[in-house]
Amino acid sequence: MRLDEITISKAIIETFSKDLVGSLDLEVAIAGAGPAGLTAGFYLAQGGVKTTIFERNLRVGGGMPGGGIMFNKIVVQEPAREILEEMKIKHQEYQKGYYTASSLEATSALTYRTIRAGVKIFNLIGVEDVMVKEGRVNGFVINWGAVKLAGLHVDPIGIRFKMGMDATGHQCEVIRKLEEKGRVRLATSSGKIVGEGPMWAEKGEEAILDNTREVFPGLYVAGMAANAVFGGPRMGPIFGGMLLSGKKAAQLIIKELKG
């Protein structure tokens, strides 16, 4: 078989373009392919919801691949163990209620299972703004991650959805932009982003599920972004709450879409 460079180029351009055009009008769009975003995407796809994830960085997984201080292990507590099992992530009990897993295997397995479930993931494309119509978020404004890094003035494009999700982690980038530009009141105690508290693993893991919810019509928040928006503590390299938050967000959205 003789290989042709132009055929290779056309194959990449045409198939990528087809995927991107197919993701311009969605049921659900997620900003951030960290553990919460990936888990949410998996369960949304399992529920038959057309879902796409946009991740500004080259790699997916958020803080998961780095484990704790670059020791590539993560800890997951008992309530989230069933998600590890469903994703077929090897884990072992460290002591009662604490399970360890390879951060790289966990990231790879979450990514693989989410894509195989039917979710499209676009890395190197970030969400830089939102579309708001008649008091409801109904789309994301997306651009290449490299454009932001280079500080280039390049206009973005818009994508439309029925429901969106901010799973961008500590920075809660999407909701921060909505607050900054939309002059809106969020579903927090102050109507604004409260900001995350200092580390307290137990309270942070408890709070993250309470804080996983709709923060503004059409926009949900999950993962560390949820605690940042509603004022919960950070929790460090324990990831059960992230997985459970993603699953809960998916369940809430499915209920709203199908209800």
Q: Is 55 annotated as a binding residue?
A: yes
**Which residue type, as a one-letter code, is found at position 132?**
V
CB–CB of 34/62 below 8 Å? yes
207 is in an annotated binding site: no
127 is in an annotated binding site: yes
Question: CA 191, CA 216: separation in Å to the nearest integer?
Answer: 10
Q: Is 11 annotated as a binding residue?
A: no
Cβ–Cβ under 8 Å, residues 100 and 75: yes
Kindly write down the DSSP assignment for every residue of 120-156, as one continuous string. Answer: EEEETEEEEEEEEETTEEEEEEEEEHHHHHHT-----
56 is in an annotated binding site: yes
Task: Establish whether 234 is an annotated binding residue.
Answer: yes
| d(C-alpha 252, C-alpha 98), whole Å | 27
81 a known binding residue?
no
Cβ–Cβ < 8 Å for 34, 111: no
Does the annotation flag 70 for ligand binding?
Answer: no
- Known binding residue 153? Answer is yes
User: What residues are designated binding site for Fe cation?
Assistant: 155, 170
User: What residues are designated binding site for glycine?
Assistant: 234
User: What residues are designated binding site for NAD(+)?
Assistant: 36, 55-56, 63, 127, 153-155, 224
User: What residues are designated binding site?
Assistant: 36, 55-56, 63, 127, 153-155, 170, 224, 234
